[in-house]
Structure 1
Amino acid sequence: MLKNQKHAILYALSAVFLWSTVATAFKLALMQLTPLQLVFYASAFSWLFLAIFLLVNGDYQYVKTAFLSKPLLYLKLGVLNPFLYYLILFKAYDLLPAQQAQALNYTWAIALSLLAVPMLGQRLRKTDIAALMFAYLGVLIISTKGQFTELNFESPLGVGLALLSTLLWALYWIFSTKNTDKPVISLFICFSIGLPFIALVLSWQNAWQIPTVKAWLAAAYVGLFEMGITFVLWLMAMKKAENTASVSNLIFISPFLSLIFIFTFLGEAIHPATIIGLGFIICGLAIQKLIKSK
């Protein structure tokens, strides 16, 4: 693919814009569906999009070979994403204000650094510890609405689930380091494996229902713009980029843009502690990213 920085930035900005809407979309969708139902229907839409994308670009023929070359790895990845990760994440969104859940979710990169120490044998440097302290101080500020000395959590379970989702997502990426298949092929296989697990749990919980039109639209939006199209847009941005660092830095726009959508469409009053805490989290991520780039 020919490099073109302007096109890369356009793709990246499109992805960032769409990702910025999903926290709002999650809350709206959860007004229509349970977390388990939303995971299934959104994953189904994402699976369908990925299948069509692979058929159109001619990569579908490599899916079977990719899966058979490492079935156990794909089984682990598929259980993690979409099954466990999104089920835990949507439950966290169900319990927390959107502004809190989306901010806490951005700490997954810090969780990745922590898990990389025991699982990949990497060392935890002083800068990693500084990034960790900034990020999790931000988590504490957001979770307690600034009253972190009293440790008065609005929803301890919601906060716990949001942080657990970051560990699951980090675990998914650590396992993915062993995978050399094309990202879209890998993601399609993961969704092909995850969907039957979600369906089994739905049957076990007797939670099947025919969604309303609003529920279908909400699930389609989440499936396409959180799990499907946006992922492809970001991959294209990285492939087109002449300078990947300057393009990837655009992701820092997303959490603040997300707060605007949350305020506008959900009517949530943005608490000052959310902005301050999010600032700490972004500082932590920026420290981590700066040191890695050096």
Structure 2
Amino acid sequence: MANQKQAMLYGLATVLLWSTVATAFKLSLQELAPVQMLVVACASSVLVMGLILVLQRRWHLVFSLSGRQYAQSFGMGLINPCLYYFVLFGAFDRLPAQEAQPLNYTWALVLAYLSVPFLGQRLRKLDIVAGLVCYAGVVVIATRGAVTSLSLSDPFGVFLAIGSTVIWASYWIIATRDQRDPVVGLFLNFLFGLPVIVLICGMTEGFGFASGTSLAAAVYVGVFEMGIAFVLWSYAMKKAENTSKVSNLIFISPFLSLVFIHFILGEQILSSTYIGLVLIMAGLWLQQKKVREREEALIGDV
């Protein structure tokens, strides 16, 4: 039980950090282009994850991989952070935070669907129902409640937000075959991805970074969303005796995020956002229902 309590505390800390990042995204993008923000955030993440590995006395693991695994680090780095965060930041640059953030949460459903052809998992009826409920919420948010007209608030912004879920889910499917230590793997992905991001930034927006709040927010994203939150969540999963209880904490994050979005960014939260978010969370809850039941049955057998 002590481990489970620790897991819940780590999980709650992670959820709190995740709840702030949508606000940090928008603050950073007020004066930085998405690729500039990505340079700062990725560099900050590399530094903080390197420091974590040193403090944990696991730095030597960075140099213990095979040539194939270093090549894998470069390939996965092109997906995350390069492609994923560039698309995600592009979505937040175009959409209000209250719209981009809930749409991004549908990645868990996309992961379930992509697992069918790529991991050989079975598509259940409940997955289909969950998808209908979830994407009904997407339509409500994307149309700002004008469902019958199907007039999207920003079609390309919505496309980027949904596209980011496909990229993120694809990344985790590839990661199922990753034999590297999770923190070492993420550190190397970001380390190898950073020069590519710097090159693209230099060829497009340049390095005239605005100082002040936007720069600080980009550093915050790199340190906490890309770095510390990942480590805390890894600890939560490792210590959990019942991972379902810890995983359920993520349902708090999008609603808590709206509080920060309203009071810090000053966005007036639309009723369509609340309705759509409830539908999305309900769909994700349904999608996870069988997983929870199976885990509880295994615990009961033990």
TM-score range, shorter chain: over 0.9
2:76 matched to which residue of 1?
Answer: 77
1:162 shift after superposition:
0.2
2:107 matched to which residue of 1?
Answer: 108
Pair 1:201-2:185 in alignment: no
* Structure 1: distance between partners of 2:132 and 2:234: 30
Are the counterparts in 2 of residues 107 and 135 from structure 1 also a CA contact under 8 Å?
yes
Pair 1:155-2:154 in alignment: yes
Q: Which whole-Å deviations, capped at 9, do the CAs of 1:198-230 have from their partners, x for residues lacking one?
A: 011012215221441333311111111210111
Spell out structure 1 runs of 4+ moving beyond 2 A.
Answer: 64-76, 213-216
1:147 shift after superposition:
1.2
* Structure 2: distance between partners of 1:8 and 1:177: 22
* Structure 1: distance between partners of 2:214 and 2:257: 22
Q: 1:34 to 1:210 in 2, by over 3 A?
A: closer
Q: Which whole-Å deviations, capped at 9, do the CAs of 1:74-127 have from their partners, x for residues lacking one?
A: 222111111110010011001001000000000001111121122222222111
1:39 matched to which residue of 2?
Answer: 38
Instruction: Using structure 2 for the length normalisation, give the TM-score.
Output: 0.93
1:86 matched to which residue of 2?
Answer: 85
2:121 matched to which residue of 1?
Answer: 122
Are the counterparts in 1 of residues 36 and 209 from structure 2 also a CA contact under 8 Å?
no
2:191 matched to which residue of 1?
Answer: 192
1:219-234 paired onto structure 2 within 5 Å: 219-234=218-233
1:218 matched to which residue of 2?
Answer: 217
* Structure 1: distance between partners of 2:173 and 2:239: 25
Pair 1:144-2:108 in alignment: no
* Structure 1: distance between partners of 2:98 and 2:214: 22
For residue 70 of structure 1, give the secondary structure of its aligned residue in structure 2.
Answer: helix
Aligned residues with identical type, % of pairs = 49
- Superposition CA RMSD, Å: 1.4
Pair 1:55-2:63 in alignment: no
Are the counterparts in 1 of residues 27 and 214 from structure 2 also a CA contact under 8 Å?
no
* Structure 2: distance between partners of 1:32 and 1:225: 20
Q: Which runs of 5 or more residues in structure 1 are unaligned?
A: none
1:276 shift after superposition:
0.8
Are the counterparts in 2 of residues 30 and 38 from structure 1 also a CA contact under 8 Å?
yes
* Structure 2: distance between partners of 1:84 and 1:244: 29
Tell me the matched-pair count: 293
Are the counterparts in 2 of residues 3 and 241 from structure 1 also a CA contact under 8 Å?
no
* Structure 2: distance between partners of 1:103 and 1:44: 26
Are the counterparts in 1 of residues 36 and 205 from structure 2 also a CA contact under 8 Å?
no
Are the counterparts in 2 of residues 14 and 233 from structure 1 also a CA contact under 8 Å?
yes
1:274 matched to which residue of 2?
Answer: 273
Pair 1:235-2:234 in alignment: yes
Are the counterparts in 2 of residues 3 and 240 from structure 1 also a CA contact under 8 Å?
no
2:4 matched to which residue of 1?
Answer: 5
1:3 shift after superposition:
5.5
* Structure 2: distance between partners of 1:191 and 1:264: 32
1:71 shift after superposition:
3.4
1:59 shift after superposition:
1.4
Are the counterparts in 1 of residues 41 and 223 from structure 2 also a CA contact under 8 Å?
yes
Q: 1:252 to 1:51 in 2, by over 3 A?
A: same
Q: Which runs of 5 or more residues in structure 2 are unaligned?
A: 295-302
Are the counterparts in 2 of residues 73 and 175 from structure 1 also a CA contact under 8 Å?
no
* Structure 2: distance between partners of 1:158 and 1:206: 20
1:173 shift after superposition:
0.2
Moved more, 112-121 or 2-11: 2-11
Instruction: Using structure 1 for the length normalisation, give the TM-score.
Output: 0.96
For residue 177 of structure 2, give the secondary structure of its aligned residue in structure 1.
Answer: coil
1:255 matched to which residue of 2?
Answer: 254
* Structure 1: distance between partners of 2:79 and 2:218: 20
